[in-house]
Structure formats: C-alpha cells, structure tokens
C-alpha cells in the first residue's frame, strides 16, 4: 500500500511539472492558450478513494464550477452550476479511487482565467487547494468580437518602378491605432513608407516597392485588443528579355576575341629587315639560337659579315 501511494505521489509531482509549476504559495499555475482545454489538477492527501466523498470546485470563491457529491455531479444536471461552465467541465471517474478530483474545462476563454479552489468540505479538517489558470490570448482576427477592431486592409498594385513593382496597403477606421507592416512570404518585415492621409480622412496608407516574385502581405496588428488581420497578394517580376540576354552575350564574346587577337600579336610579332635584295620577313625566335642565326646569315649574306653584333642580334632567323 505504501508503494502504491508513493507511485501516485510521483505521478502527481510529474503532473505539476507538466501543467506549469506553482505560484510560490504552494498553488499550481496552469497556462493554456485561448480555445484549448485546461486541465486543473487536484489530489487529496493522504491518498484515498473519493468515490463516496464530496469535492467542490469554485472560481474566485464565488462561481460554481463543478460539484461532486458521492456519485452525483453537475454533469448529471445536478443543480447549482454557474451557467458559463455548464456543459464545459468534466472530471475523471476512473481516477477517483486514486484520490484525484482533477477536472477539465473545455475551450477556455480569457474570462476563464483566475484562481480556482478545489475544496473537500467534509474532511476533518477540510482541505483546500488553489490552482491559478492563466489564459494566453493569441493575436487573431477579432473583427466581429471587439469594437474598434479594424477590418481587413485593402491592397493594390501601383505602377512599376524600374525593375520593381509598387504595392499600397490602406487601413481605415482603426482605433486604437494599429501597427501596419509589409511582409514577404518568409515573414520578413520590408522597408516601407507611410503616406500622410488627405485632410479630413482618418486612415493609414503604407507603400512598398518589391523586386522579387513572391507572396506579400499587409499585416495590421492592434495588440491592445489582441487583434491581427492580414491581406495578401502575389507579385510576379518578369525576367530580362531574350534580346537583352543575347546582346550581353555578344558583347562578352567580342571582348574575348579581341583579347585573344591582341595577345597573339604581342606573342607572334613579325619583323622585316631590308637588305640589298629586298625585304625579308622572319619570325623572331629565342635567344638561344643567336649563334645559329649568325652562322646562317654569314653563309647566305657575306656582305653582312662585318655587321655590328648588336644589330645582328636582332636579325631574325627561321
């Protein structure tokens, strides 16, 4: 029996860690998001079967949330439950033998947040446990829920600017004043310009220029009332035309050919030497063949035998 109680206590400790910890006073803090189900834990100590016991759940010590009375409870149309919790709260019948009086509240709303008490009034002495429910409120479209929530913004494309396309987002009748942003499909905020409204009009106009094909969204956020609404448009940016591509390619290839011609001229230049017999063109070769050139010139042109060696050195050979 002692081992079973230890196992149940360990399960309860793990449960506390799962639901969010404690509030510093020994109470449990449960954190959920609006629309989710909230599990509120409560286990008697020492552990005992609660099938024929009484436990009562209340919110802020005044609202009747759930009452279990020796097998009878609000889920069986037992009278006294606050109308706001009717049909939304249930317990765990199979866990009563393990000392668990935990409950679940379905589809919580922000007004469900607060301090809940789990009371065992017929125990001696009575036992009371405190659970704090924190309901997180996400940003979402609340146009039909909150006064002042701005409607969906209107967006339109402006005239093209160079290689980009201008987009305009306009928000009307927004109070409190919202934060308006242009974002790409990755969620990046784009640099944009706010246009001052015309005299007598109360609206926000934000313009941006985009240069890539993508989905672009105008996001309007009113954090004070947890309201966010979005309008999205698709922009297609044309690639450069084929004529431009061929022109660029032609210029590039022409440049390469000119470079090859210049290099060829510098590497294989020709030299002409005028002798008594006329002009003889030859290709200049390496310095190592100087002696061979000298010998050939002397054999075929005796009149140059006494030529200055400096001049002879530049004389070409084949």
Residues 176 and 126 both lie in one domain = no
196 lies in the same domain as 283: no
Q: In the 3-class helix/strand/coil scheme, how is the chain assigned residue by residue?
A: CHHHHHHHHHHHHHHHHHHCCECCCCCEEEEEECCCCEEECCECCCCCCCCCCEEEEEECCCEEEEEEECCEEHHHCCCCCCHHHCCCEEECHHHHHHCECCEEECCCCHHHCEEEEEEECCCCCCEEEEEEEEEECCCECCCCCCCCCCCCCEEEEEEEECCEEEEEEEEECCCCCCEEEEECCCCCECCCEEECCCCCCCEEEEEEEECCCEEEEEEEEEHHHCEEEEEEEEECCCCCCHHHHHHHHHHHHHHHHHHHHHHHHHHCCEEEEEECCEEEEEECCCHHHHHHHHHHHHHHCHHHCCCCHHHHHCCCCC
CA 279, 282, 288, 291 dihedral sign is negative
Largest interatomic CA distance in the chain: 141
Q: What is the pLDDT of residue 244?
A: 54
* pLDDT of 252: 72
Q: Which one, of 110, 307, 304, 96, lies nearest residue 225 by Cα?
A: 110
- Buried/exposed code over 257-292 (b: 16+ C-beta within 10 A; e: otherwise): eeeeeeeeeeeeeeeeeeeeeeeeeeeeeeeeebee
Same domain assignment for residues 127 and 220: no
Give the total number of structural domains in the chain. 3
Domain-embedded: residue 160: yes
Q: Is residue 250 part of a domain?
A: no
User: Cα 99 to chain center, whole Å?
Assistant: 45
My answer on whether 120 and 203 are in the same domain is no
Backbone angles phi, psi at 303, to 5 degrees: -65, -10
298 is a domain residue:
yes
Domain assignment of residue 275, given as a range: 270-313
- Residues found in the chain: 318
Q: How far apart are the first and last CA of the chain?
A: 114
Pairing between β-strand 127-136 and β-strand 28-33 as defined by DSSP bridges: parallel
Cα(128)–Cα(126) distance, integer angstroms: 7
Please tell me whether residues 17 and 116 are part of one structural domain.
yes
The confidence score (pLDDT) of residue 307 equals 55
| Residue 162: inside a domain | yes
Say which residues have a Cβ less than 8 Å from residue 220's Cβ, sequence separation at least 6: 150, 153, 171, 174, 178, 179, 180, 228, 229, 230
pLDDT of res. 141 = 87
60 and 87, same domain (yes or no): yes
Please tell me the predicted confidence (pLDDT) of residue 3: 42
Q: Are residues 302 and 212 in the same domain?
A: no
Cis before 24 (ω within 30)? no
Domain assignment present for residue 259? The answer is no
Residues 119 and 219 in one domain: no
Looking at the fold, whether 14 and 124 belong to one and the same domain comes out as: yes
Q: Which one of 208, 235, 262 terminates a domain? A: 235
Residue 132 forms part of a structural domain: yes
Model pTM? 0.55
* Number of CB atoms found within 10 A of residue 215's CB: 12
Q: Which of 214, 235, 256 is the last residue of a domain?
A: 235
pLDDT single digits (tens) 174-213: 778 899 999 999 999 999 999 987 765 678 999 999 999 9
* One domain, residues 121 and 47: yes
pLDDT of residue 7: 40
Positions of the chain with pLDDT under 70: 1-26, 76, 161, 199-201, 240-251, 262-318
**CATH code, domain with 161:** 2.60.40.10
Same-domain check for residues 10 and 129: yes
Q: Flag whether 230 is in a domain.
A: yes
Q: Within this chain, do residues 189 and 228 fall inside the same structural domain, yes or no? A: yes
Sign of CA dihedral 108, 114, 120, 122: negative
CA 241 to chain centre: 33
In a domain, 147, yes or no: no
Q: List 185's β-bridge partners, or say none.
A: none
């Amino acid at each position: 029996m002692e081992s079973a109680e230890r196992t149940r206590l360990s399960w309860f400790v793990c449960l506390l860690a799962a639901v969010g910890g404690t509030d510093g006073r020994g109470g449990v803090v449960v954190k959920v998001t609006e629309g989710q189900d909230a599990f509120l834990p409560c286990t008697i100590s020492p552990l005992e079967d609660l099938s024929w016991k009484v436990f009562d759940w209340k919110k802020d010590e005044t609202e009747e949330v759930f009452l279990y009375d020796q097998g009878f409870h609000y889920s069986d149309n037992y009278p006294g439950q606050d109308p706001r919790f009717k049909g939304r709260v249930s317990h765990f019948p199979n866990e009563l033998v393990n000392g668990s009086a935990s409950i679940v509240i379905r589809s919580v709303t922000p007004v469900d947040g607060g301090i809940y008490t789990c009371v065992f009034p017929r125990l001696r002495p009575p036992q009371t446990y405190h659970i704090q429910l924190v309901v997180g409120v996400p940003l979402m479209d609340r146009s039909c829920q909150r006064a002042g929530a701005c409607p969906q913004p209107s967006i339109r494309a402006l005239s093209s600017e160079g290689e980009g396309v201008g987009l305009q987002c306009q928000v009307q009748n927004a109070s409190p004043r919202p934060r308006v942003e242009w974002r790409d499909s990755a969620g990046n905020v784009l640099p944009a310009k706010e246009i001052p409204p015309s005299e007598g009009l109360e609206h926000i106009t934000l313009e941006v220029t985009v240069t890539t094909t993508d989905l672009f969204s105008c996001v309007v956020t009113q954090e004070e009332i947890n309201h966010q609404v979005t309008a999205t448009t698709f922009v297609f940016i044309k690639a450069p035309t084929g004529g431009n591509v061929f022109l660029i390619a032609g210029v590039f290839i022409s440049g390469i050919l000119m470079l090859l011609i210049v290099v060829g001229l510098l590497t294989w230049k020709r030299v002409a030497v005028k002798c008594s017999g006329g002009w003889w063109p030859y290709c200049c070769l390496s310095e190592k063949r100087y002696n061979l050139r000298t010998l050939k010139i002397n054999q075929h042109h005796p009149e140059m035998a006494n030529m200055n060696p400096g001049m002879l050195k530049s004389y070409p050979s084949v």
